[in-house]
Every structure is written in structure tokens, then in C-alpha cells.
Amino acid sequence: MLSNNGKLIKKHKLNVAIESPDPLYNEMIDFYIPEYQVKTSDLLFYIIHKDSHNTKKPIGKITLGSHASGGCYEHWMQALSNPDKSVARWHPITR
């Protein structure tokens, strides 16, 4: 999800990893963010487990953007510094 000042701007659903104990997500997501909104925007990734009964259980989340901290904030700043390059990085899931 792309949010600006906590308000949802756009959603994008990633591929589903079926029956995988260690799913690997290697997808590129491309959102257009107007320059005047970059300093107040965040990308939120929610990781959800869906069982055979269609029960959804949240596992955790990852936040990249202006309100992130540590490596997630560094990744955001690196991506902004290199707009024409793909910047890949691993991030831990927080609860």
C-alpha cells in the first residue's frame, strides 16, 4: 500500500505463495509519487497467512518511507537518490 500522511493512496497485491514454509518474494513495485508528497509518503507491506479455511492471520509488516527507521529508511533514501535504478534489499518483518 502507498500512503501519504497516513491516508491510503494506492494498493497493489503481490503474488501469493501457496503452501510454502519459506516464501520468497522478488517483485518490483512501481508507484508514482509526486515530488511534493515524497517526504510524507510510505510504502506498507502487510504479510498475511491464509489457511485452507480461508482464515487470514496477520504475520507482520514492513514499512518503507519517510516514517520508517533503520535499514527501511536507508532503503527509501537510497531509492530516492537513484530514481532510474532498481534498489533491492532484504528487510525483517515486524509485528
The 8-class DSSP code of residue 13 comes to: P
Judged against a pLDDT cut of 90, whether residue 63 lies above it is answered with yes
> pLDDT band for position 74 (50/70/90)?
very high
Q: How far apart are the first and last CA of the chain?
A: 17
**Structure pTM?**
0.77
Sheet holding 41-50, edge to edge: 7-10, 2-4, 41-50, 56-65
What percent of the chain lies above the pLDDT cut of 70?
Answer: 100
Q: What is the pLDDT of residue 75?
A: 94
Beta carbons within 8 Å of 63's beta carbon, 6+ residues apart: 42, 43, 44, 45, 72, 94
Judged against a pLDDT cut of 80, whether residue 20 lies above it is answered with no
Sequence-ordered alpha helix ranges (H) in the chain: 70-81
Give the pLDDT mean for 16-25. Answer: 73
Judged against a pLDDT cut of 80, whether residue 24 lies above it is answered with no
